[in-house]
Amino acid sequence: MSFRISPMWWPVLAVSSPVLIPHLLRKNHQYKRNVQRAQLENAKRIRNAGKIELPELTQFELTVLVEQKAEHGFKHAPGVSYLIKTDQGSLLFDLGYGPEDDTFASNAAKVGFSASDVDAITISHLHPDHMGGFKAVRDNHIAIPLKTEKPPVRQCFLPAKAGTNCLKTTVVEFPQLLSAGIASTGPLARSLFLMGWTEEQAIVARIKGKGLVIFTGCGHPTIETIVDMVRKISDEKIYAIGGGLHFPITDSPLRKPGLKVQMIWGTGKPPWKQINDHDLQTTINNLNCVNPARVFLSAHDTCDYAIDRLEKELNAETIVLKAGAKYHI
What pLDDT score was predicted for residue 261? 83
List, for residues 124-160, the tens digit of each pLDDT value: 999 999 999 999 999 999 998 876 545 566 799 999 9
Q: Report the pLDDT value the prediction gives residue 112, as an integer from 0 to 100.
A: 92
CA distance 191 to 31: 6
pLDDT of the residue at 1: 47
Question: What pLDDT does residue 152 have?
Answer: 60
Summarised one tens digit per residue, pLDDT across range 20-55 is 888 878 888 899 999 999 999 999 999 999 999 999
CB 70 within 8 A of CB 76: yes
Distance of CA 216 to the CA centre of its chain: 5
Q: What is the pLDDT of residues 191-241, one digit of tens each?
A: 998 888 999 999 999 999 999 999 999 999 999 999 999 999 999 999 999
HSE (CB half, 13 Å, CA atoms) of 14? 5
163 with 142: CB under 8 angstroms?
yes
C-alpha span between 238 and 202 (Å, rounded): 14
Taken in order 261, 263, 265, 267, the sign of the CA dihedral is positive
Contacts of 13 (CB under 8 A, 6+ apart): 5, 20
pLDDT score for 11: 85
Domains of the chain (ranges, CATH numbers)? 7-328 (3.60.15.10)
> What is residue 99's three-state secondary structure?
helix
> How do strand 294-297 and strand 259-260 relate by DSSP bridges?
unpaired
Helical residues (DSSP H) of 134-184, grouped into ranges: 134-139
Name the β-bridge partners of 323.
70
pLDDT score, position 300: 97
SS3 125: coil
Closest to 270 in 3D by CA, of 194, 200, 197: 194
The residue-averaged pLDDT of 163-185 equals 94
User: Packing angle between helix 10-48 and helix 223-233, nearest 10 degrees?
Assistant: 20
Q: Is the pLDDT of residue 163 over 50?
A: yes
Cβ neighbours for 18, distance < 8 A, ≥ 6 positions apart = none
pLDDT digits (tens, 9 = 90+) for 247-299: 999 998 988 888 888 888 888 898 888 999 999 999 999 999 999 999 999 99
pTM: 0.94
CA-wise closest residue to 284 among 263, 250, 309, 317: 309
Stronger pLDDT, 255 or 12, i.e. the higher one: 255
3-state helix, strand, coil in the chain (%, to 5): 30, 25, 45
Q: Angle 277-290/223-233 helices, nearest 10 degrees? A: 20
**Percent of the chain, pLDDT > 90?**
76
Alpha helices in 167-212 (DSSP H): none
Q: What pLDDT shows up at residue 117?
A: 80
* pLDDT given at position 256: 83
